[in-house]
Amino acid sequence: MRQTNTKEKILQISIEKISKKGYDNVSIRSIARDVGIKESSIYNHYKNKEDILDKILKKFLDILEETSLESSDLKKKSR
């Protein structure tokens, strides 16, 4: 259970930092520091910074798809 929490925390911290500073201005070291883990521990969860970005994008695409499906279902029901 702890691993999942750390992995999710890495994603959340990464989203916050990248949205504020931009992808190129955020390092693995700074993400690890804010998560409260060693830099090398991030690699137990993600291959590299690009892998983190890929997971962030997938997460947002999944949310958009889910929202779109819910919206489509609502439109069908209101007809």
Reported as a pLDDT band with limits 50, 70 and 90, residue 1 is very low
Say what the pLDDT of residue 77 is: 65
CA angle 59, 63, 69 (to 5 degrees): 145
Instruction: State residue 79's pLDDT score.
Output: 58
Asked whether residue 78 carries a pLDDT value surpassing 70, the answer given is no
Which amino acid is present at 16?
Answer: E
**What DSSP state is assigned to residue 48?**
S
pTM score, two decimals?
0.80
Residue 40 pLDDT exceeds 80: yes
Residue 62 has pLDDT above 70, yes or no: yes
Residue 45 three-state SS: coil
